[in-house]
Amino acid sequence: MLEQLGGQIFEHSPVTGIEEKGDRQVVKTAKGQVIARQVILCGNAYLGELSKPLAKRVMPAATQVMATEPLPEALAKQLLPADMCIADCRYILDYYRLSADRRLLFGGGTVYGGVAPDDIIGKLRPNMLKVFPQLADVKIDYAWSGNIAITNNRHAQLGKLRHNLYFAHGYCGHGVNVTHLFGKLLADAIDGDTELFDIFAGVPWSGFPGGQRFRVPYSVAGSWWYGLRDRIGV
């Protein structure tokens, strides 16, 4: 859709810096630069240290997903009769749904700091079998890991760093729906309608206790505690 409207996408062009010059933002890459009237930073868990003010707001966390082989129709209906997406209510949650070709997509396994585990299937399969023991003999065809961005209060954030430098990030694993909303609010704000943008931009945020150095051990310790509560049913 972007390209149909005249936009251009440049892949494999990591941004190395952003500099304000007059009323423009200069976005620098290793092989060139773009001068823009408006810039939106939406790198989420992959923004790195490009913007230090934003780096302290979020923490990368790796989450993993695996896909079974295609399941017989009767088994797929037995697992999820309503064919809906499911997420449980535990602190370290699992989530799962059926694909169009009847694979079970099963995800979970949060790792704070954004480091992928060496054995994704070994990490996720025991949890899958707790929920669906009838899949004990089913093969896993694919497994992968990716990073989400977590905020300390688990609330997504958007706002401005400068008058024409916007940002949106920190969806805490709920980016499928929230990114659509934030995209609309950002587009409206750039077009001059800031009513709803200002409401969301005004939501207070807090950094992680211990700052960037200690946010991972702090979060891991918290996950141990809440994970224990999940296991004993408190």
Co-location of 168 and 199 in the same domain:
yes
The whole-number pLDDT of residue 129 equals 97
pLDDT grade, residue 210 (50/70/90)?
confident
Co-location of 147 and 182 in the same domain:
no
Domain C-terminal end among 151, 172, 202: 151
What is the residue type of 16?
Answer: T
Co-location of 114 and 73 in the same domain:
yes
Co-location of 107 and 162 in the same domain:
no
- pLDDT, greater one: 141 or 7: 141
pLDDT tens, position by position, 115-162:
888 999 999 999 999 999 999 999 999 999 999 999 998 899 999 999
Residue 229 lies in a domain: no
**For 37-41, 135-139, 172-176, which range has the lowest pLDDT when averaged over its residues?**
172-176
Co-location of 146 and 167 in the same domain:
no
Number of domains in the chain: 2
Pairing label, strands 165-169, 157-162: antiparallel
Residue 1 lies in a domain: no
Query: What is the chain's mean pLDDT, rounded?
Result: 92
Co-location of 138 and 187 in the same domain:
no
Q: Are the C-beta atoms of 124 and 64 separated by less than 8 Å?
A: yes
Residue 233 lies in a domain: no
Domain C-terminal end among 103, 135, 151: 151
Co-location of 102 and 179 in the same domain:
no
| 82, two tokens | 């309503």
Nearest Cα to Cα of residue 110 among 147, 140, 144, 142: 147
| 6, two tokens | 């005249």
CATH of residue 170's domain is 3.50.50.60
The whole-number pLDDT of residue 33 equals 94
pLDDT tens, position by position, 54-99:
999 999 999 999 999 999 999 999 999 999 999 888 878 899 999 9
Q: Which residue has the tokens 């989450």?
A: 63
Co-location of 191 and 147 in the same domain:
no
Q: Which residue has the tokens 């009838």?
A: 134
* CB-side neighbour CA atoms (13 Å) of 204: 1
Tell me which residue range forms the domain holding 113: 60-151
Domain C-terminal end among 151, 175, 201: 151
CATH of residue 94's domain is 3.30.9.10
- pLDDT, greater one: 1 or 158: 158
Secondary structure string (H, E, C) spanning the chain: CCCCCCCCCCCCCCEEEEEEECCEEEEEECCCEEEECCEEECCHHHCCCCCHHHHCCEEEEEEEEEEECCCCHHHHHHHCCCCCCEECCCCCCCEEEECCCCCEEEEEEEEECCCCCCCHHHHHHHHHHHHCHHHCCCCEEEEEEEEEEEECCCCCEEEEEECCEEEEECCCCCHHHHHHHHHHHHHHHHCCCCHHHHHHHCCCCCCCCCHHHHHHHHHHHHHHHHHHHHHHCC
Co-location of 74 and 134 in the same domain:
yes
The whole-number pLDDT of residue 98 equals 98
Residue 92 lies in a domain: yes
